[in-house]
Structure 1
Amino acid sequence: MELQKMNGHSREDGFEGLDGMAEHEEFLPHKTGVKKELHFTDFEGKTSFGMSIFNLSNAIMGSGILGLAYAMSNTGIILFIILLLFIAILSAYSIHLLLRSAGVVGIRAYEQLGNRAFGPPGKMLAACIITVHNIGAMSSYLFIVKSELPLVIQAFLSKHENTGEWFLNGNYLIIIVSCLIILPLATMKQLGYLGYTSGFSLSCMVFFLISVIYKKFNILCPLENEYHNITPTAVTHSASNGTDDFCEAKLFTINSQTSYTIPILAFAFVCHPEVLPIYTELRDPTKKRMQNVANISILAMFIMYLLTALFGYLTFYGAVESELLHTYIQVDALDVLMLCVRLAVLVAVTLTVPVVLFPIRRALLQILFPDKGFSWAIHISIAFCLIFLVNLLVIFVPSIRDIFGLIGATSAPSLIFILPGIFYIRIVPEDQEPFWSRPKIQAACFATLGFVFMVMSLSFIIIDWATGESRSGGGH
């Protein structure tokens, strides 16, 4: 038997042949009169079903929600709904592949699945992709804090311009936010403890959604100074369609920006590095129970994404900005409700950073300390170093948007499509599912689809770099 090592504990890999039981049996099985063994972690999973949903939903929810109304303006309502539903279903299927692979070998770490599938190179590849992607996501969240928090403070103080006070300096503010909020949360031992902050973060985004719906019935179209309130891209879009009528909902449309929609939506559903850590800490864990957590989380985010995009688009139509909040500020910079919404979004993205940090730390532990048990010193040191690195990126790299685009175009398709597909093909034994069986053929097609998305996204970025045109906002 091959020995698997996880968090400093060795265990026999006795899960071959148990795949058919994965749907119904617990990974931490009970034996009559015997204390439950802890195979996967140094603690028993205690996170409730509801808290797990909060954590996974918070991991899915990203800053990309601010760009979905703009994406709808470039696809039309019907095409957007079709694409959003398509990506949501594919994301749920991807999680199914991950959980099925984990069920065969009894592993609940993305990096260890890579090790089981391709040995040390597979483990290193998975860990590097997770690290790069999540560092990019953390940086994007802190960039929002850096750019938006000074403006919110300035508006609440009724200042018409930034006069240079330290509390209006974005660099100082992200350091303060990182030290007072993010670092303490990131040093918690278990991801499950963040369920409460994740719930609060999601409530902030629900407030954002309610405000978007409310504003639909309070902002009349056409807007005053219509062309002053739209981006150059929107003007180009109008000219290319040969119309100046922004107050008309399009059910189906295709333009030069439509091709960005699929990558934006795909990135908006990236949560896969967090799936297995959340699974590890789930109380009474079974594959079916965790799949239900994933399905409910994806459904909830599908509804939030759809309603935000729909009501945001139906408020501004062709005049919607690539960042939805910016469009409201253009209409009325002193709108108290929208200032509160901006503050709520800031709180939401700030509380998401610690959730995103956990998979990076786990990946680094798998690479640097694969055989070492839990250590508070290592646990806190990695969190501190990661937050310090991300702060440096946000402060000193002004043109990081293109770097994020390059990272997102490669890591997101890898995490959603390519790795789950090829892991499934390699890990599930051929005596259970032959190579030419329908499930493995589906997994192969799924991985191929990821390669197509990657090539397509990279092509868009290279074309934009070559032509100097601005990309639409989005990403996770």
Structure 2
Amino acid sequence: MCSHRGYVRRRDKRKHTRDLQVFKMAQQLRNEEGAALIPPQKGGARSATISATFNFINSIIGSGIIGLPYALNQAGLPFGLLLLIVVAFITDYSIILLIKGGNLSGTNSYQSLVQSTFGFPGFLIVSGLQFLYPFIAMVSYNITTGDMLTKVFQRIPGVGPDHVLAERHFVILLSTFAFTMPLSLYRNIDRLGKVSLLSMVLTLTILIIAIIRAATFGPQIPPTENAWAFAKWNAIQAVGVMSFAFICHHNSFLVYGSLEQPTAAKWSRVTHVSVGSALVISAAFAVAGYTTFTGYSQADIFENYCREDNLATFGRFCFGLSIITTFPLECFVTREVVSNVFFSHDLSRIEHVAITVLIVAVCTSVSLAYDCLGVVLELNGVLSATPLIFIIPSACILKLSPGRWFQGENLFASVLIILGVFVMVTGLTMTGLFPQDCSHGAEMFYCADANVSGTAPPV
């Protein structure tokens, strides 16, 4: 009799669990235009939709944008643009899948979603990936800032190669203590809305400069062999670079949680506008950069411009400042990961400051020790960005949604998993066989005779 009652209780418990899951899914469908199921973000005020959109666009358009002309060089211009559109579409779709998974599971972070779906092992894997990607991105931001601003400062009269302002270590430390550290100490991501708007304006300025130089400087540089080929063999490497440039999943829940009355419909609008805007800006910059330098395009496109180019120097200044304003968004994510892994409560003020200072200090130390992360960034795109974009959101939805993997919307999620594994394996192999080169600030050969100080086209 006791064993029978135990069986009945276990059966009822399983039935209750299934009913609860069905109820959550039904409630999520009813809430497509209503209140969100994801719990609010920890602490802080909510931001307007436009502020959240600026933050999201800013999180997408980071240092990865300067590598997109190189991605077109790897894949071929027409095929590279097609791949860029595909990566943007997958990014948009998987971001919505991610928040949908949060709605279905009642979770409010990437880590908690994976933990509720795949248990503690999944939690550890996604925590490692979610920490690794933004951390390496912050390292790249510091290195880019040091490389960019030292060239800018050397255009100041009296500042030569031996001046302290031409020393990348000093410039990185200066930008850290004066800008990135104070901005990273904010507790609420919505406070960065105006900073993100400034970053967008700077990015548009850089785009205009790249277009101008494509028209005025590009004709002076002879195109390389197969410059206009439809496709090239290194296309998978290009997908890794594009994934690095577009990934924003690691802070999607932070931006979603900062919305006023977040709903699935409102989040879809924010996602479509943000990813669509980032795609237009990224594609325009990639085409302008590649058509200027074709096969000479480097992983950091600003390494292709000559030091005497005043307009490019202004572009370097704008991009360096833009990177400084993007750094805090990535720091928010790394701090959130550390908080979720090691703390079960909201961080106190002292804990918040201590963790932030530790993250920024370690990041700055790494960027001071290494000055070329071309291969590392490509590996980061393949090993970190690809699973965070292609594989994990799709796997969570397949686990949470009813139906078989080949039915309805589950079919596309299954395709994304297969595609993500293919990109990871092939991209890793190609990166090992064909690693990126690093110019280490070397002046390009065509700068010796080129007249690039002004903006007038060559006669």
TM range (shorter): 0.7 to 0.9
> Normalised by the size of structure 1, how large is the TM-score?
0.82
Q: Show the counterpart of 1:105.
A: 105
Provide Cα deviations, 1:252-282, integer angstroms capped at 9, x if missing partner: 4334544422222222110001111100111
- Asked whether 1:384 is paired with 2:393, we answer no
Q: CA deviation at 1:39?
A: 4.0
User: Structure 1 residue aligned with 2:331, among 332, 340, 357?
Assistant: 357
The answer to whether the Cα contact below 8 Å between 2:218 and 2:291 also exists between their aligned partners in 1 is no
Alpha-carbon displacement from aligned partner over 1:138-183 (angstroms, at most 9, x marks no partner):
0011111122222211112354x412x3332211221121111111
Aligned AA (1:336): N
Q: Choose which of 401, 407, 414 in structure 2 pairs with 1:437.
A: 407
Letter in 1 for 2:318: A
For the pair 1:395 / 2:368, whether they are aligned, the reply is yes
Q: Find the residue that maps to 1:203 and give its secondary structure.
A: helix
Q: Distance in 1 between matches of 2:414 and 2:393?
A: 10
Among the aligned pairs, what percent are the same residue? 22
Counterparts of 1:249-328 in structure 2 under 5 Å?
250=228, 252-328=229-305
Q: Is the 8 A contact 1:101 1:113 kept in 2?
A: yes
Matched, 1:422 2:390: no
Distance 1:44 1:394 in 2: 31
> Which whole-Å deviations, capped at 9, do the CAs of 1:122-142 have from their partners, x for residues lacking one?
222111111011111000111
Distance 1:67 1:434 in 2: 39
Instruction: Report the TM-score, using the length of structure 2 for normalisation.
Output: 0.85
Change (3 A) 1:375 1:420: same
Q: Does 1:338 align with 2:308?
A: no
Query: Which residue matches 2:72?
Result: 72
CA 290–365 in structure 1, closer or farther in 2 if over 3 Å, else same:
same
Partner secondary structure for residue 381 of structure 1:
helix
Specify the code of the residue in structure 1 equivalent to 2:122. Answer: G
Contact 1:70 1:322 in 2 (8 A): yes
Alpha-carbon distance between aligned partners in 2 of 1:130 and 1:114, rounded to the nearest angstrom: 12
Give the residue type in structure 2 aligned to 1:19.
Answer: Q
CA distance in structure 1 between the aligned counterparts of 2:371 and 2:205, rounded to whole angstroms? 31
Structure-to-structure mapping, 1:111-130, within 5 angstroms: 111-130=111-130
Q: 1:425 & 1:181 partners in 2: Cα distance?
A: 42
Instruction: Indicate the residue corresponding to 1:5 in structure 2.
Output: none
Q: How far 1:377 moved relative to its partner? A: 1.3
Query: CA offset at residue 284 of structure 1?
Result: 1.6
Distance in 1 between the 2:372 and 2:85 partners? 33
Provide the residue aligned with 2:9 in structure 1: none
Shift of 1:392: 1.0
Matches within 5 A, 1:14-163: 15-27=24-36, 39-43=39-43, 46-157=46-157, 159=159, 161-163=160-162
Amino acid at match of 2:351: I
Instruction: Please identify which structure carries the higher helix content.
Output: 2
Q: Post-superposition shift, 1:395?
A: 1.3
Deviation at 1:396, TM superposition (A): 2.0
Q: Classify 1:213/1:43 alpha carbon distance in 2 versus 1 (closer, same or farther; 3 Å).
A: same
CA distance, structure 1, for counterparts of residue 191 and residue 155 of structure 2:
34
- Kept in 2, the 8 Å contact 1:216–1:315? The answer is yes
**Structure-2 residue corresponding to 1:407:** 380
Tell me which residue corresponds to 1:184. Answer: 182
Q: Which moved more, 1:166-175 or 1:69-78?
A: 69-78
Conserved 8 A contact 1:420-1:447: no
Q: Counterparts of 2:39 and 2:220 in 1: how far apart (Å)? A: 61
**Cα 1:409–1:73 shift into 2, 3 Å:** closer
Post-superposition offset of 1:436: 4.6
Please name the residue that 1:246 is paired with: none
Q: Deviations over 1:296-346 (max 9, x none)?
A: 1111111111111222233334444443222222xxx22222211100000
- Structure 1 residues 427 and 154: CA distance shift in structure 2, 3 A: same
Secondary structure of the corresponding residue to residue 390 of structure 1: helix
The one-letter code sitting in structure 1 at the alignment partner of 2:409 is P
- CA deviations 1:197-224 (Å, max 9, x no partner) are 111011111000111122233225233x
Of 188, 204, 207, the residue aligned with 1:206 is 204
Aligned length: 422
For 2:378, give the aligned amino acid.
G
Aligned-residue CA RMSD (Å)? 2.6
Comparing 101-110 and 52-61, the one that deviates more: 101-110
Quick check: 1:45–1:284 contact (8 Å CA) kept in 2?
no
Does structure 2 conserve the Cα–Cα contact (< 8 Å) formed by 1:60 and 1:301? Answer: yes
**What SS does the aligned partner of 2:216 have?**
coil
SS in 1 for 2:219: coil
Deviates more, 1:64-73 or 1:400-409: 400-409
> What is residue 450 of structure 1 aligned with on the other side?
420
Letter in 2 for 1:323: D
